[in-house]
Amino acid sequence: MASYDVDLLVLGAGAAGLTAAGTAANLGAKTMMVERDRLGGDCTWTGCVPSKTLLHAAHLRSSAGTFVDRFAAADADVPQADWRAVIGDVHETREEIYQDADAPEIFEGFGIDVVRGDARFTGPHAVHVDGAEGGRDVTFRMAVICTGGRAAPPPIPGLDGVPYLTNESLFEIETQPRHLVIIGGGPIGCEMGQAFRRLGSEVTILDKGDRLLGRDDADHSEILRGVLEREGVGLVLGAEVERVEGEAGAITVRATADGRPQTVEGDALLVATGRRPNVEDLGLDRAGVAFTEKGITVDDRCRTSQKHVWAAGDCTGEYQLTHMSEHMAKQAVTNAVLKVPAKIDRDGIAWATYTTPEVAQLGPTEAELTDDGRSFVTYRFPYSKVDRAATEHATDGHIKIHATRWRGKILGASVVGERAGELIAMLAVAKKGGVSVRTFSDTIIPYPTYGLGARRAADQYYVQKQFPAAIDVVKRVFGYRGLTPPPPDPDRVL
């Protein structure tokens, strides 16, 4: 066996890289992790952590407003947001998480050689790393590429000539926008749109689709749309953005929607569309690793065109989800270090958008199952019948569980409502474990919880299996005198 400096080289220290390096080291592989910037990647610094911290501040202010409207004295005022305090909390929180989970010392404690610098392949088993202390050449037996991705604004005329924000710069602004204009009605656009609106900014979201959150259930996206409009978020859907112009503090977006011109003026612009994999300047051609503009090409085991090189996370262009990056990294290292076949669980993909109400999805939507010609039943339950939701006045919500017709095998689920992400997590475990809708319905869930709403949706399995003829037989055999239930009706919810 050839001699190499390290058993496993990990390029990138975001969600995928940290998972890959930590897993490999714990399995006994001599591991080096190279990162050009800060450990933690997008999730810690420009994605999940700062956005959810900002959403929390916005939720607190919205809750204060709700309390004032319903329960406070007539002369009570809703507290105004202090942007410096809000963004200061965002910065403090991500630094705290970095120190607790992502700092180099933590990984060095696992025996990982953490190197700060730019790495480029110089051959199939070699990289050159340029760091603050100069350059060094490193050879490796195996490698996992986890270089992530970055914001990729679309080619909108005039965009290059105006100052605009992406998720990479949004959390560094020193002044809260008076009117934030957002291009993109996906998860980032919806989350940040609601957050800034609740913190007091005027907000307008433009999206080329005819609805928000195009990957999620259409009915549930409409529920979110109604809430956002009720809270005062301006929505321009079906919008073709034709031009952006202006200067700092005065930006104009010109678009066409439904055949009519639309002009939106604001003092800040957030472009929340598109991502691009970080594959440039890695020397992938020298390593013999195939890639396209969409990302590094991998198979179901995260293996690249080189049998000793794997890739995971956003650099593959497959998914833009932190949890999927971690999942792919685990599969890659399992294949690389243990030589145990481990495939990506494409059937168990779940995600959530953390607006209020949250919107969450597990597996295919109802429309996708229909388009694929699958035979299935959808069991539904509204939040208006979830007692916990009623007590918290959070009845904007709905649950759908998609399952095979007779065995009740869970194929997917869609949830919109308070704590939808937690409900979809429950259903993801059930789906992964092969738990049927019937078994889920038979599970004891504490009352009153939002989780009980998911079980109540599963209860509809029994409702739909009640046939009048069978009940009539039971009545005759035992001499019962009650009413015979009506035939199964998918629109009837009990």
- Pick the closest to residue 10 from 345, 301, 315 (CA basis): 315
76 is written with which tokens?
Answer: 């009570």
In the structure encoding, which two tokens stand for residue 399, read together? 């649950």
DSSP letters along 32-62, please? EEEESS-TTHHHHHTSHHHHHHHHHHHHHHH
Q: Are strands 31-35 and 6-11 parallel, antiparallel or unpaired?
A: parallel
Strands 239-247 and 234-237: unpaired
Tokens at residue 47, please?
A: 């994605």
What is the rounded CA–CA span in Å between residue 225 and residue 101? Answer: 36
Q: Is 313 annotated as a binding residue?
A: no
Give the type of residue at 144: V
Peptide bond into 157 cis (omega under 30): no
Residue 186 assigned to a binding site: yes
- The CB-side HSE value for 363 (13 A sphere, CA atoms) comes to 23
Q: Is 188 annotated as a binding residue?
A: yes
- Neighbouring CB atoms inside 10 A of 470's CB total 11
Helix (H) / strand (E) containing 265: strand 260-266
Amino acid at 47: G
Q: Are 291 and 279 in contact (CB under 8 A)?
A: yes
**Strand bridging mode 234-237 / 202-207:** parallel
295-296/309-311 β-pairing: unpaired
Torsion of CA 284, 286, 292, 296, to 10 degrees: -40
265 is in an annotated binding site: no
d(CA 29, CA 112): 9
- Number of H helices and E strands in the chain, helices first, is 15, 23
Nearest Cα residue to 422 out of 441, 403, 445: 445
Q: 399 — phi, psi (to 5°)?
A: -125, 135
Tokens of 99: 């120190």
Considering just the CA atoms, what is the radius of gyration of the chain in Å?
Answer: 26
Residue 48 annotated as part of some ligand binding site: no
CA nearest neighbour of 325 among 290, 280, 275: 275
User: Is 187 within any annotated ligand binding site?
Assistant: yes
Residue 330 assigned as binding residue: no
Adjacent-strand bridge partners of 228: none
What gap in Å lies between CA 241 and CA 258, rounded to an integer? 12
Bridge partners of 378, per DSSP, are 402
Q: Which residues are annotated as a binding site for FAD?
A: 52, 314
Q: Which residues are annotated as a binding site?
A: 52, 184-191, 274, 314
Q: Which residues are annotated as a binding site for NAD(+)?
A: 184-191, 274
